[in-house]
Chains A and B, each alone.
Chain A
Amino acid sequence: MIRIEEVSKRYPGGHDALKGLSLSVDKGEMVFVTGHSGAGKSTLLRLIALIDRPTSGQVIVNGQNTRRVKRRHIPAYRRQIGMVFQDHKLLYDRPVFDNVALPLVIAGLGHREAARKVRAALDQVSLLDKEKQSPETLSSGEQQRIGIARAIVTRPDLLIADEPTGNLDPDLSLEVMRIFRRFNEVGVTLLIASHDIALIDQLGCRRIALANGALQVEQEEDPVAEYVERLEAEQARERGPF
């Protein structure tokens, strides 16, 4: 589903966010990308979402080499990927229903068809009763679930999520992960960037650890490193978004 081949990304100013990274995610897998902030997790997701393009190397998503996706075809490319963000990125000037319906409106779906799909998506995140409310009136966890409903309403084969639980307390985080798990069970491929090692371990999914823009060399049982990582996750949660 995703193949990253020898990808490097240098940002203007000379910062190397990724250095010759190669990895692959199979169809139907649920994979976590972990690492310190600055390890390259976000950059990886940005390359997959075509927000950025790699300086060198190939990013192949669902059989398409992103290098060959022309600028004007980026919208169509993005529509086949569901995206979940740490800060939800909801539109607060319209009700929950309209937020979830947005990808369908963009795709040009008729109202009746859209309404059916929106309700199905809201049902999957257990927020069917909130469709008329403004996102502002919802808790952070609920807002994140709205964001997830929006990401899956078009039934994409691939869902990418950048720190989806970064702002949530452990209970809510677990709930969000359970929702992701359910999607994975019906065949959706998920790539999730996260700090939350403890949570990931609970789920028992494959973990890709990044360090300094490359795959982290496997270290068997390093209690100190794990402690530091856990501490950082804790700090990140306190910092909030960004």
Chain B
Amino acid sequence: MRHVNTAFAALGRLARAPFATLMTMLVIGVTLALPAALHLVIKNAQSMSESWDNAFDFSVYLNADVTLAEAKRLADIVSQRADVENVTLIAADDALEEFRELSGFGAALDHLAVNPLPHTLVVRPGESINEISMGLLNEELGTLPEADFVQVDTAWVQRFHAILNIMQRAIAIGSSLLAVAIVVIIGNTIRLDIQNRHEEIEVTKLIGASNSFVRRPFLYTGLWYGLGGGLLALALVGYGLYALEEPVSRLSGLYNSPFRVLQLDIRESAIIAGTGVLLGLAGSWIAATRHMRRIEPR
């Protein structure tokens, strides 16, 4: 009950200087919004790359003299393998038809006497496949007598994931620096507050207030700063997403992609607001504990 009173008294004190309070909260909000926004970028990039899992498919181009029946039998054999989920046969004629449709070379292709495209097996590896068994599969598919060559284009997906990992790490490092910055900002604000209320603290101590009693309102002030900053960060990120939503959906429309921008979920929002609160408490705790001891009645 006493804590509730102190908390609201601290809030009331902040509300009496709305501009200064808002400025402090905004600084914290912007500082928190930065890593939150970068996190969202990574999260969206990851979700985008998830829809590229077919990039791990092997394309086995068969020799030109392999007949459709042989290709079908081969597809059956390959699909029996434990490390293969399924095999799709793309017949040469179908491939040509698709190419004609998509490439826009329709008229030119009509002049070809024979179909230059081979039958192709699209081999999708099993879910549990790792890099080593993937290499093995690649090799064994290549040694099939019917196979001309095997193409698997995983390298760039792996690079992309590696880059995302580096960025994630970089964001983590940057975030911890920004966290330190927030602690310092709040600590400094609280320090000034303590200086301004120096006399009050002295009098309160003189009539028997303990350090923790005197410190309490400052802790709540720090908590409010942190919470306000956290909520402002959420608002800033939310506004940024709102501003990006339309152009992104237009772009993904152009790519025929179902991609939609992922928002912060409830858990992430709670983490951002909670981080604000924790950093606010940490900053005010450090400042209040440091300066409270120095103020003694004289």
Partner of B209, one of A75, A90, A150: A75
Contacts of B210 in A (CB 8 A): 72, 75-76, 106
Interface residues of A in 190-224 (CB under 8 A from B): none
Interface residues of A in 49-71 (CB under 8 A from B): 49, 51
For B207, the closest partner residue in chain A by CB is A103
On whether A106 and B200 interact (CB within 8 A), knowing A51-B297, A51-B298, the answer reads: no
Contacts of A75 in B (CB 8 A): 205, 208-211, 213
Q: Does A79 reach chain B (CB closer than 8 Å)?
A: yes
Q: How far is the CA of A44 from the CA of B119 in the complex (A)?
A: 106
Which residues of A (81-111) have their CB < 8 Å from a CB of B?
A: 83, 89-91, 93, 102-103, 105-108, 110
> 1/0 per position for B62-77, CB-CB distance to A under 8 A?
0000000000000000
**How many whole Å from A31's CB to the nearest CB in chain B?**
22
Q: Are A102 and B207 in contact (CB under 8 A)?
A: yes
Q: How many residues of B contact A (CB 8 A)?
A: 16
Q: Are A83 and B206 in contact (CB under 8 A)?
A: yes
Measured between beta carbons, the chain B residues less than 8 angstroms from A108 are 2
Distance between A12 CB and nearest chain B CB, rounded to angstroms:
13
Q: A51-B297, A108-B2 are in contact. Are A91 and B200 (CB under 8 A)?
A: yes
Counting CB contacts under 8 A, is B203 at the interface?
yes
Most chain-A Cβ atoms within 10 A of its Cβ — which of B1, B2, B210, B213? B210
Q: Are B207 and A106 in contact (CB under 8 A)?
A: yes
Residue in B203, B208, B209, B213 whose beta carbon sits within 8 Å of that of A89 in the complex: B203
- In the bound complex, do residue A76 and residue B297 qualify as a contact, i.e. CB atoms below 8 Å apart? no
Closest chain-A Cβ to B213's Cβ sits at a distance in Å of 6
Residue of B nearest to A50 (CB): B297
Q: Looking across the interface, which residue of chain B has its beta carbon closest to that of A73?
A: B210
Cβ–Cβ < 8 Å partners of B207 in chain A: 78-79, 83, 102-103, 106, 150-151
**Cross-chain contact B208 with A76 (CB below 8 angstroms):** yes
Asked whether, in the complex, the Cβ of A106 is within 8 Å of the Cβ of B206, the reply is: no
**Nearest Cβ on chain A to B166's Cβ, whole angstroms:** 50
CB–CB A91/B298 < 8 A: no
Closest A residue to B213 by beta carbon equals A106
Residue of A nearest to B210 (CB): A75
A107 cross-chain contacts in B, Cβ below 8 A: 208
Query: Is there a chain A Cβ closer than 8 Å to B175's Cβ?
Result: no
Interface of A is mostly: helix
Chain B residues near A110 (CB, 8 Å)?
1
B275, CB-defined interface residue at 8 Å:
no
Q: Kindly list chain A residues whose C-beta atoms are within 8 Å of the C-beta of B204.
A: 91, 102, 106
B12 CB to closest chain A CB (Å) equals: 11
Give the residues from 187 to 221 in chain B that come closer than 8 angstroms, CB to CB, to chain A: 200, 203-211, 213
Asked if B2 and A78 make an inter-chain contact with CB atoms under 8 angstroms apart, the answer reads: no
Cβ contact within 8 Å between B206 and A79: no
Note all chain A residues with C-beta closer than 8 A to B298: 51
Residues 99-136 of A, flagged 1 when their CB comes within 8 A of B and 0 if not, give: 00011011110100000000000000000000000000
Q: Across the interface, which residues of A come within 8 angstroms of B208, CB to CB?
A: 75-79, 103, 106-107
Q: How far apart are the CA atoms of A106 and B207 in the complex, in Å?
A: 9
Can you spell out 23 A-B residue pairs with CB atoms less than 8 angstroms apart?
A: A49-B297, A51-B206, A51-B297, A75-B208, A75-B211, A75-B213, A76-B208, A78-B208, A79-B207, A83-B206, A89-B203, A91-B200, A91-B203, A103-B207, A106-B204, A106-B208, A106-B209, A106-B213, A107-B208, A108-B2, A110-B1, A150-B207, A151-B207
Query: Residues of A at under 8 Å CB distance from B?
Result: 49, 51, 72, 75-79, 83, 89-91, 93, 102-103, 105-108, 110, 150-151
Binding site for A on B (CB under 8 A): 1-2, 200, 203-211, 213, 296-298
> Nearest 4 A-B pairs (CB), nearest first?
A79-B208, A78-B208, A75-B210, A89-B203
Q: Other CB < 8 Å A-B pairs besides A75-B205, A83-B207, A90-B203, 18 of them?
A: A51-B206, A51-B296, A51-B297, A51-B298, A75-B210, A75-B213, A76-B210, A78-B208, A89-B203, A91-B200, A102-B207, A103-B208, A106-B204, A106-B207, A106-B208, A110-B1, A150-B207, A151-B207
